[in-house]
Amino acid sequence: MGPDLLRAMETPSLAVLLARSKPAPAVAHDAFAHALPHESWLAAAFGLSPDKATDGSPPLALRAMHRRGFAPESGVWFVLNPVHIHIARDHLVLTDPRRLALADADSRTLFALAAPLFEEIGQQLVYGDAATWFLRADDWTAMQTATPDAACGHNIDIWMPKGPSERDWRKVQNEIQMHWHDCTVNQSREQQGLDPVNSLWLWAGTPAKQDVRDSPYTDVFNLANWRGETVKHADSATIADVLAAKPVHGLLLLDMLIEPALGEDLSEWLMRVNALEAPWFAPLLQALKDGALGSCRLILTHGSLVTGHLITRTTLRKFWLKPSLKGLLQ
């Protein structure tokens, strides 16, 4: 479908940026890795790569907790997401948690049912927001976990938490599933034709004494869960915010294509990528031409590849190179 999508894309500025860039060698990514390529790239950039012994999801729990006002001083913390797991013919499939649209009141009801079950095994459950809870599980530090996006849409067996404590996790997970099966939240969701919230996804294990190195970036935009506490940031940045900051070495995340990509919703993906032209691609191109930005490096990823494209005023002078999106077909 790649060539068909390129023909339907209405992103002329992106075509110029790609065609007149200096590409870096593509980096292959294991399709069965426990994080998506962009997640692994960001983890490495911020010194948050998982422990080599577990080779799991990036240790983001502590940063996610700080963003929500929590500052634990001890323990090992995980992110817990309420999720829907679809029962296929011969396996289980994790559906995209973004599509649950779980209301805060409903999430708190489910939380109230789950928390005592964790307390029984000496673990502390903390409510972050409707989609994100946190679990202190000091004995699970060696657990290998995967990000929800890496597991989404697949047979979850490969991406399920594994390690010395996996049986303990599965036991409490099963108990929670039974308590939630006929609860009022899921009865109401069923009546509305919504997927039930029938499980939890465990990932991002992080010790409270996590070593935090200084970010290499002077300004970070739209990376709420990744940033360091000392980094200037904007969680809903516009191109005006980026240019006004005059970043010496800035980083911007545009992740609105992830949801339709995971759901293989090509029409939605196309609509969203076209919607990036006016607010992002065109102003970035103009800023490079005007000298407001000295250079820009596009880092593009899909399920198994990371590519980089460096654009400067010098590369943009290659007028003989016709605008093209073929750089996306890798």
Tens digits of per-residue pLDDT, 140-189? Answer: 999 999 999 999 988 899 899 999 999 999 999 999 999 999 999 999 99
pTM, rounded to two decimals: 0.91
Upper half-sphere CA count for residue 50 (Cβ side, 13 Å): 24
Q: What CA–CA distance (Å, rounded) separates 155 from 238?
A: 37
Q: What's the fold here for domain 50-207?
A: Alpha-Beta Plaits (3.30.70)
Cα–Cα nearest to 129, from 175, 85, 192, 64: 64
Cα–Cα nearest to 144, from 173, 165, 121, 123: 165
pLDDT for 216 equals 81
Q: Is the pLDDT confidence value at 308 over 90? A: yes
Residues 327/309, Cβ–Cβ less than 8 Å = yes
Rg of the chain in Å (alpha carbons): 21
Residues 42/50, Cβ–Cβ less than 8 Å = no
For the chain, the distance separating the N- and C-terminal CA atoms, rounded to the nearest angstrom, is: 13
Cα–Cα nearest to 220, from 253, 264, 190, 189: 253
Residue spans of the domains in the chain: they are: 2-33+214-328, 50-207
Q: What CA–CA distance (Å, rounded) separates 86 from 82?
A: 13
Q: Is the pLDDT confidence value at 234 over 80? A: no
